[in-house]
């Protein structure tokens, strides 16, 4: 029997599982996250999903998860995006499958996936950034995956852009990058930019209501793609803030390569990368790296979790 490894991607809205080996993913399954049955419901969903894939000869399991994590306990603790205080992951999966289980932050997994399977092969200094409901990062410096004391290094979405900002982040702080450019907050930023002009903003008023009460991130980008000048201006402003965030990352970690994933970036590749390319240089002290959309698409975290599984198994 060929050795097989399992990968799990735990997100607030979706859970993905896969099996595979050093050469890649051979089978995968994605479902909506079951938020209705408590923390153990999450675990039993993962178990059921993994059991539905070919799992004979399973050697180990790698998990990339939304944070914050407590790596020493093998659990997710107090995540703002799921209604549970603590979700134990490592213990219950170990008991169920009788194999080693290793847990890391989903963006760290994304960076590892890029390094092992993606655009970062042979690149020892790289950062993976996800622009999605929230903003996160995973970092490899000198070939080492950086993790921090609890596994929560690189919460780059919570870098402060403006401490006096009117925009409050989901974490409760003022003026974080995510408060402007996270998918959950882009409508707030757009309404701030348009304050006093509601009802006079053409297509956006048509799509989101005269007071822009129905404004969503999807509407902003859709209107921009349709050529609406107001929406394009908002997208440019979002890009100006993203350029600051990316420049901070370059100034702190000095990567050769930044790859970008997450639903907002994957669906709006040019509208996201263009303004960053144009705006980043004026904030940089370090040499500018290559910045690109991840070739692994929505599977970057799963690939990283898979790499975590066989690398860990090999070293233990």
The site for Zn ion (CB under 5 A) is made up of 158, 169, 171, 173, 176
C-beta of 122 vs 163, nearer to Zn ion: 163
Q: How far is the CB of 157 from Zn ion (least distance, A)?
A: 6
Q: How far is the CB of 78 from Zn ion (least distance, A)?
A: 14
C-beta of 99 vs 173, nearer to Zn ion: 173
Q: How far is the CB of 250 from Zn ion (least distance, A)?
A: 20
Residue nearest to Zn ion (CB): 169
Q: How far is the CB of 135 from Zn ion (least distance, A)?
A: 9
C-beta of 160 vs 232, nearer to Zn ion: 160
C-beta of 26 vs 168, nearer to Zn ion: 168
Q: How far is the CB of 167 from Zn ion (least distance, A)?
A: 10
C-beta of 177 vs 312, nearer to Zn ion: 177
Q: How far is the CB of 171 from Zn ion (least distance, A)?
A: 3
C-beta of 4 vs 176, nearer to Zn ion: 176
* Reduced 3-state DSSP string for the chain: CCCEEEEEEECCCEEEEEEEECCEEEEEEEEECCCCCHHHHHHHHHHHHHHHCCCCCEEEEEEEECCCEECCCCEEECCCCCCCCEEECHHHHHHHHCCCEEEEEHHHHHHHHHHHHCCCCCCCCEEEEEECCCEEEEEEECCEECCCCCCCCCCHHHCECCCCCCCECCCCCECEHHHHHCCCCHHHHHHHHCCCCCCCCCHHHHHHCCCCCCCCHHHHHHHHHCCCHHHHHHHHHHHHHHHHHHHHHHHHHCCCEEEEECHHHHHCHHHHHHHHHHHCHHHCCCCCCEEEECCCHHHHHHHHHHHHHHHHHHHC
Q: How far is the CB of 170 from Zn ion (least distance, A)?
A: 6
C-beta of 173 vs 193, nearer to Zn ion: 173
């Amino acid at each position: 029997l060929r050795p097989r490894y399992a990968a799990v991607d735990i997100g607030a809205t979706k859970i993905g599982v896969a099996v595979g080996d050093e050469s890649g993913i051979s089978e995968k399954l994605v479902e909506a996250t079951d938020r209705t049955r408590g923390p153990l419901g999450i675990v039993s969903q993962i178990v059921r999903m993994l059991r539905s894939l070919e799992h004979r000869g399973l050697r180990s399991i790698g998990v990339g998860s939304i944070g914050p994590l407590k790596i020493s306990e093998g659990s997710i603790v107090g995540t703002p995006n799921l209604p549970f205080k603590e979700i134990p992951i490592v213990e219950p999966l170990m008991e169920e499958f009788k194999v080693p289980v290793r847990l890391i932050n989903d963006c760290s997994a994304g960076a590892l996936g890029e390094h092992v399977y993606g655009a970062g092969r042979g690149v020892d200094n790289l950062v993976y950034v996800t622009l999605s409901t929230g903003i996160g990062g995973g970092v490899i410096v000198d070939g080492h995956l950086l993790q921090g004391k609890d596994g929560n290094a690189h919460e780059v979405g919570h870098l402060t852009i403006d401490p006096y900002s009117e925009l409050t982040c989901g974490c409760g702080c003022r003026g974080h990058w995510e408060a402007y450019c996270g998918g959950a907050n882009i409508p707030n930023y757009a309404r701030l930019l348009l304050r006093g002009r509601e009802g006079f903003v053409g297509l956006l008023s048509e799509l989101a209501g005269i007071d822009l009460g129905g404004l969503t991130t999807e509407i902003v980008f859709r209107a921009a793609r349709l050529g609406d000048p107001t929406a394009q201006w908002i997208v440019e402003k979002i890009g100006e803030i993203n350029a600051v965030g990316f420049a901070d990352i370059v100034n702190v970690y000095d990567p050769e390569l930044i790859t970008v994933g997450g639903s907002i970036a994957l669906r709006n590749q040019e509208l996201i990368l263009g303004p960053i390319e144009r705006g980043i240089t004026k904030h940089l002290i370090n040499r500018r790296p290559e910045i690109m959309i991840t070739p692994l698409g929505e599977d970057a975290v799963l690939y990283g979790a898979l790499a975590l599984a066989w690398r860990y198994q090999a070293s233990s």
